[in-house]
Amino acid sequence: MLTIDQAIYDAIVAHARADHPDEACGVVAGPEGSDRPTRLVPMANAERSPTFYAFDSMEQFKVWREMDDRDEEPVVIYHSHTATEAYPSRTDVNLASEPGAHYVLVSTRDTDGLGEFQFRSFRIVGGEVTEEEVTVTGSDLGGA
C-alpha cells in the first residue's frame, strides 16, 4: 500500500496537468528503508512527448546523487499518461528499474480538469505489475 500526504498527492496531479499534453515525470524521495514519500522532485521529460517519458540523464544523475547525500531513496516514481488510463504500458514495465519503488501513474486525458482523473499506484518487480491501494493522509478524504 502507498501512503502519501495530501500535499504531495496534489503536487503530483498539478505537475501532470501542467505538463499536459506531454507526459510529466518525477520522483518522491524518502528516508532510506522507510517507504515514506516525503520530498517531491518534479523532473523534466527529456522526450517532451505525449506518449513517452524519460528522465534527462544529467538531471537524474544529480537527483539520485542528492538522494544518496541525504540518505534517501526513490520511494515513488511517477509519470502521467495523457490519452490512456493510468496503467503501466509495456514500455513502463520494461523501464521499471527500482524494485522497491511505488510506480504512480496519473491519467490526464481529462484535459478540462473538472471531471474524474486517475491516480493509481503499482509495484513493478521482474516484469510483474501489481496494483496497490493508495491512502492519502492529512486530508478529509481518508483515501483516494
pLDDT at 112: 55
92-110 in b/e form (b: 16+ CB < 10 A) is beebbeeeebbbbbbbbbe
Does the predicted model carry a pTM greater than 0.85?
yes
pLDDT of residue 109: 83
Tens digits of per-residue pLDDT, 70-93?
999 999 999 999 988 899 999 999
DSSP secondary structure string for all residues of 111-129? TTSSS--EEEEEEEETTEE
Domains of the chain: 2-137 (3.40.140.10)
116 — pLDDT class (breaks 50, 70, 90): low
Out of 21-25, 34-38, 85-89, 139-143, which region has the weakest mean confidence (pLDDT)?
A: 139-143
Q: What is the largest CA-CA distance in the chain?
A: 41
